[in-house]
Amino acid sequence: MRRLLGVDEPDFGHLLDDMVHRDAGPFPAACVPAARYCLPRVEPEICFRLARPLRGPDITVEDVLHATDAVAPALEIVDSRIRDWKITLVDTVADNASSAGLVHGPWTPLADVPDLAAVTTELLVDGEPVASGSGREVLGHPAAAVAWLANTLATFGTALEPGQVVLPGAMTTAPSVRAGQRAEARFGGLGPVSVTFV
């Protein structure tokens, strides 16, 4: 994603209640109105649900895993108000890190999932494979991105709290989607998640 967008460091935004959709699976997929977005794309991610606070600095991958209650397969809907996604890091900060929505599947207790760095995903649009990747694509381990976030938030005097949901970052590139299309991500060890844009 950093190569795709020309951004050379992580950033973060906020997930609000009205941005979150549940995919009850297997069919039909969660449905979201395409008109809600400008130039939507989808990113497969491993979604974290926290049971304990994470207060930086010095949060580690092990701290994140200890604080995590469960994980879920997820598709983040990213969007941009900037024409043709010609964005810089400043633009992503101003635009909520391009975050516009979250579709997640069932939660699985962390103790019941494989090593998150080794979890693979295949991303399909209208049934056609478009990208694949693994948890290692996210700063080497998805929990490393959550640790980065907790440590970054500490510089602002805030923290990640129990019950909060965290998206650590994309495991593949992010294809554009439009009304009438269905996106699905199939995660090894976590199962699928899908969304239809209506």
Among 132, 123, 118, 145, CA closest to 192: 123
pLDDT of 91:
83
pLDDT in tens, 90-110: 887 888 888 999 999 999 999
Three-state SS letters, 116-171: HHHCEEEEEECCEEEEEEEHHHCCCCHHHHHHHHHHHHHCCCCCECCCCEECCCCC
Among 67, 56, 57, 42, CA closest to 143: 67
What's the CATH number where 85 sits?
A: 3.90.850.10
Query: Average of pLDDT values for 146-169?
Result: 96
pLDDT of 83:
87
Q: Is the pLDDT confidence value at 21 over 80?
A: yes
Percentage of the chain modeled with pLDDT above 70: 93
Lowest mean pLDDT among 20-24, 147-151, 161-165, 175-179: 20-24
CA terminus-to-terminus distance, the chain? 25
Q: Which domain holds residue 51?
A: 2-197
Percentage of the chain modeled with pLDDT above 90: 80
Q: Tell me how many domains the chain contains.
A: 1
Tokens at 188, concatenated: 């090894």
pTM given for the model: 0.91
Confidence of residue 5 (pLDDT cuts 50, 70, 90): low
Q: Is the pLDDT confidence value at 155 over 90?
A: yes
Among 69, 81, 2, 75, CA closest to 36: 81
Query: Average of pLDDT values for 84-90?
Result: 83
Q: Is the sign of the CA dihedral 132, 189, 97, 176 positive or negative?
A: positive
- Do residues 49 and 22 lie in contact, with contact meaning Cβ atoms separated by under 8 Å? no
